[in-house]
Amino acid sequence: MPASRSVRGTHEFARYGAERLTALVPIEVVLNAYVLWNNRDTLAQVWRRVLPIVVGLAPGVAVGTAIVSQVNPGWLRFGTFVALLPLILVQAAGYRRPIRSERAVGAVFGSAVGVLYSVTTISGPPLAVMLNNQGYPKRDFRAALGAVRLAESTMTAVAWASSRRRTSRGQRCTASA
């Protein structure tokens, strides 16, 4: 993913906020399913490697969904820029350093990506850096990216829908900024 695309996504979040990006998550579920379907032949080779990331997404999405209602949108934008800028620069510089303990790091990384995605619907830069660092071939990279993105977008859609149901019953909203 080019750095310009990552920055554009961050600008969309800053411009429209989390409440307007809610409609994008179901669209991303469909698009990510399409990517995964097109790369299904290599999924068998990568699913064990990305499983820790996918497992880590669940608590991250839950925390991120709760954060959206608790933190000022201005601070969310600032935090997003602070978190993404180093990753964009590392990616643009082409720096690679494979992680040896992929399983241990995967769950923590998945949680962090889950928080970032459920707060901003942005996860491309950290995922691209992680998967590139691990030296995935092109087709494996696409299958791994499709699997993780499908999981994160599906979990976020469910979390946001669940928080809206609670809101409609008169409880506190956890999915709108």
10 Å Cβ neighbour count for 96? Answer: 12
Start-to-end C-alpha separation, the chain: 27
d(CA 63, CA 111): 9
In this predicted model, what pLDDT tens digit does every residue of 26-75 receive, in sequence order?
A: 888 999 899 999 999 999 899 999 999 999 999 999 999 888 878 887 88
- Report in angstroms the alpha-carbon separations of 68 from 49, 142, 163: 30, 29, 11
Is residue 176 one of the residues assigned to a domain?
no
Is residue 173 one of the residues assigned to a domain?
no
Is residue 116 one of the residues assigned to a domain?
yes
Is residue 105 one of the residues assigned to a domain?
yes
Reduced to 3 states (helix: H, G, I; strand: E, B; else coil), residue 132 is helix
Q: What is the pTM of this model?
A: 0.76
Is residue 175 one of the residues assigned to a domain?
no
Q: The domain containing residue 107 runs over which residues?
A: 3-168
10 Å Cβ neighbour count for 94? Answer: 7
Is residue 63 one of the residues assigned to a domain?
yes
d(CA 101, CA 76): 31
Q: Specify the pLDDT at position 170.
A: 43
**Per mean pLDDT, which range of 2-11, 53-62, 98-107, 108-117 is the poorest?**
2-11
Q: Domain total for the chain?
A: 1
**Cβ atoms 149, 155 nearer than 8 A:** no
**Cβ atoms 117, 156 nearer than 8 A:** yes
Q: Label residue 112 by pLDDT band (50, 70, 90).
A: very high
Report the sign of the C-alpha dihedral through residues 22, 107, 76, 80, in that order: negative
